Chain A
Amino acid sequence: MSEPILSLRDVYADIDQYHILHGVDLDVPAGELTVLLGRNGAGKSTTLRTIMGLTTLTKGQVRFQGRDIGGTATPAIARGGIAFVPENMGIFGQLTVRENMVLAAVSGAMDEQRLDWIFEVFPPLKKFWNRAAGNLSGGQKQMLAIARAVIEPRDLLLVDEPTKGLAPAIINDLADAFEQLKQQQVSILLVEQNFNFSRRLGQSVAVMSDGHIVHRGTMAELAGDEDLQHELLGLGLGAHQ
Chain B
Amino acid sequence: MSAPQDIFDADTGNRSWWERLRAFRQDKPHLFLLLIMVVIPLFLMPSSTWAVLTLSGLAMGAMLFLMASGMTLTFGLMNVLNLAHGSFISLGAFAGATVLTMWLNDYTSGSLWVNLLAVIPALLFALVVAGLLGVLFERLVIRPVYGDHLKQILVTVGGSIIVMELLQVIWGSNEIPVPRPEALRGALLISDAIPIIGGIALEKYRLLAVILGLGVYALMLWVIDRTRLGILIRAGVENREMVEVHGYRIRLLFLAVFVAGSALAGIGGAMWAMYREIITAHMGEELMISVIVVIILGGLGSVRGCFYGAVLVGLINLYVGYLEPRLAAVATVGLMVAVLMWRPQGLIPVIKV
- Chain A contact residues, CB within 8 Å of chain B: 52, 54, 73-75, 78-79, 84, 86, 88, 90, 92-95, 99, 102-104, 106, 134, 148
Contact = CB atoms under 8 A, between A and B. Distances in A.
B231 A102 contact: yes
Nearest to A85: B245
B245 A106 contact: no
Given A90-B239, A93-B238, A52 B231 contact: no
A79 B247 contact: yes
B241 interface: yes
B246 interface: yes
Interface of B: 228, 231-232, 234-235, 237-239, 241-250, 350-351, 353
Contact of A103 (B235, B237, B241, B250): B235
A24 to B, nearest CB: 20
Q: Which 4 pairs of residues, A with B, have the shortest CB-CB distance?
A: A78-B247, A90-B242, A74-B244, A79-B247
B256 to A, nearest CB: 15
Contacts of A134: 351
B234 A92 contact: yes
B234 to A, nearest CB: 6
Given A92-B239, A94-B238, A52 B245 contact: yes
B241 A54 contact: yes
Contact of B245 (A86, A94, A99, A102): A86
A62 B145 CA distance: 30
Best-surrounded residue of A90, A104, A106 (most CB of chain B within 10 A): A90
B245 A73 contact: no
B235 to A, nearest CB: 5
Given A95-B231, A102-B228, A102-B231, A75 B238 contact: no
Contacts of B244: 54, 73-75, 78
15 contacts: A54-B241, A54-B245, A73-B249, A74-B245, A75-B249, A90-B242, A92-B234, A94-B237, A94-B350, A95-B238, A99-B231, A102-B231, A103-B246, A106-B248, A148-B246
